Structure formats: structure tokens, C-alpha cells
Amino acid sequence: MKYLTTRLILLGLVAAVGLWAIRQYSGEVAVLYTTDDHGHVYRTDLWVIGQESNVWIRATGPSSPWLDRLINNPEVELRRGEELRTYKATPVTHRQSQVNAYMAETYGWAEWLLAQVEDRSEAVPVYLDPFG
């Protein structure tokens, strides 16, 4: 029994590290900065699609902590490479299928693999409207 428990723990650890590696190394990973009601800034690494004034990100579900923060304070910052820009973030649920499809096209096998463990029907697309 001890052997089985150890194997299950190791399998879970390997799966978690594998999912992290997929997210980090399978394409562009941007850094989103959101702010809570107390002014504390949070960093979230995530995939991004689009350029210039057509930028989209996606929460895996409506209970995502960073999604709650941007709903309460829609002014966010996004770092893509060396560029840091300020945006107004707006969840746009009716664009879910289009954003999911574009994420699949952009991130290919990595998106397919993550979709096997994360329910994409719960995904919440977020449009980022640049300030200035």
C-alpha cells in the first residue's frame, strides 16, 4: 500500500510539473498584473493571443482569482516580453468559442493537452483594450 501511495504522489507531482512546463514553454507567456481592493498587485503568467488593439487572454473558469480582481478593478497591466502596457479588461463570454479556437490554433498540441484536464466550456475570454 505504501508503494502505491508513493507512486500516486510521484505521478501527481510529475503531472503538475508537466502542465507547468507546457504552459511556460509552448508559446508566448505574458504576465498579467491585477490589483485587489486593498491595492495589492498580483502577478499571473498566462497565454495571450492577438496584437496591438486586439489582445485576448482567457481564464480557465469563472472562479479564477485574477478574473475576480479584474472584474472589480478592470485597469490591468500586461507584460509581453520587455513591453509593459496598461489595458482596460472586459470579460466577453459570448466570444468563448472563437477565443478557444484561436488559442487552439496558436498553442497547438499544448492547448490540446491542457484541454484534456481543464474544461474549456467554463473558459472566460477577456478582451484587453489598450489605454493611450
CATH class for domain 2-130?
mainly beta
Quick check: 54 pLDDT over 60? yes
Quick check: 76 pLDDT over 70? yes
Quick check: 19 pLDDT over 50? no
- Spell out the domain ranges in the chain: 2-130
The per-residue pLDDT for 132 is 59
Average pLDDT, rounded, for the chain? 85
The per-residue pLDDT for 86 is 96
Q: What is the 3-state secondary structure (H, E, C) of 5-73?
A: HHHHHHHHHHHHHHHHHHHHHCCCEEEEEEECCCCCEEEEEEECECCCCCEEEEECCCCCHHHHHHHHC
3-state SS, residue 127: strand
